Structure 1
Amino acid sequence: MYIRVYTNRFVIRAFGEPEIEIEGTPDKPFTTERLLVGSFQEAEKTLSQGIKKSLGSGLIKKTPVVVIHPKEKTEGGLSEVEVKVFRELALGSGAAKVVVHEGSELTKDEVLEKLKNA
C-alpha cells in the first residue's frame, strides 16, 4: 500500500486485485500551520478509515504493509521526530510494517521494492 500525505488529505493506493486509489479527508483538519500532521488523533482516525475502505470487507482481517510518503511541508528533509510520527500514524492505523519515504513520487514497482527490502 502506498500512502501519500498532503495538507488534510491522504491518497491511498492499494495494490490488490483490483488495484484501487482512494482519498481520505478528515472531519476536522489535522494539518497545522507548521506541521503536516499537527493533530495526531484526527490524522490517525482519517487514515484508519481510508485503509479499511481500501482493503474492503472480508472474513479475514488484512494488515497491510505500507510506504507512507509525506508530500508537503518537507523542506530541508524530515526530522527524526517527523519520521516517527508518520511511522506511528501508519502502525496505529492498522499497518503491519511501515517504510517512510522522502523524495519523488514512487511507481508501483518502486513501492513493492521498498517493502521487500524493509
Structure 2
Amino acid sequence: MLLAAIRRLFSEDYYVQIHENRYEILPLSPFGVSRSFPARDAFSTSRLLVGNFIAAEKLLRDSLKQINGGSRLKRYRLIMHPRDKSEGGLCEVETRVLQDLAYGAGAHDAIIWEKEPLSATQAKALWQSPQ
C-alpha cells in the first residue's frame, strides 16, 4: 500500500495516440493539453506502424521528457492507442511492440487500447478498472 502511494507520487498518466511517424500525447493530469510530436527519424514503414523500434522508442522517451520538463524521477502509466495501420486489430507481435515501447520509454504500466478514441475522463477511468 505504501509502495503504491509512493509510486503514484512520482508517476504521471498519459494517453498516447500513435499515428504514422507521429505521437499525440495527452497528459491525464488536470488541465492537460494534447501535444503532437512528429518523428525526426521515421519509425513507420509502408506495412508497419512501428517498423523502426529504436527510433519509435527514442521519440516516445524524448517526448515524455519534454512534457515532463526533463525530470528523471518521473515514471509513467501509458495508454498506447495505435491509430493508423491497425485495420482488423493487432496481432500478438504488434501488441508486444507497443508494450515494449511503453516500458522502454519509462512506463511502469501500460494499457494497449484498440477501440474508439478516448477523452481524458475515459482514459483516466481505464486505470480504475482496466479492460
Other structure's SS at 2:75 match: coil
**TM norm structure 2:** 0.83
**TM norm structure 1:** 0.92
* 2: CA distance, partners of 1:76 / 1:68: 17
Partner of 2:90: 78
What residue ranges of structure 2 are gaps of 5+ in the alignment?
Answer: 1-13
* CA displacement at 1:88 relative to structure 2: 0.5
Q: Within the alignment, does 1:44 sit opposite 2:57 as a pair?
A: yes
Partner of 2:66: 53
Q: Supply the RMSD in Å over aligned alpha carbons.
A: 1.4
* 1: CA distance, partners of 2:74 / 2:129: 21
Partner of 2:46: 33
Partner of 1:92: 104
Partner of 1:66: 78
* 2: CA distance, partners of 1:114 / 1:22: 21
Pairs aligned (count): 117
Q: Which amino acid aligns with 1:108?
A: A
Give the one of 116, 119, 123 matched to 1:104.
Answer: 116
Contact 2:76–2:109 (CA under 8 A) maintained in structure 1: yes
After the TM superposition, list the runs of 4 or more consecutive aligned residues in structure 1 that deviate by more than 3 angstroms.
none
Q: Within the alignment, does 1:20 sit opposite 2:33 as a pair?
A: yes
* CA displacement at 1:17 relative to structure 2: 4.5
* CA displacement at 1:113 relative to structure 2: 1.5
* 2: CA distance, partners of 1:117 / 1:98: 13
Other structure's SS at 2:56 match: helix
Percent identity, aligned pairs only, is: 32
Partner of 2:127: 115
* 2: CA distance, partners of 1:113 / 1:67: 11
Larger CA Rg, structure 1 vs 2: 2
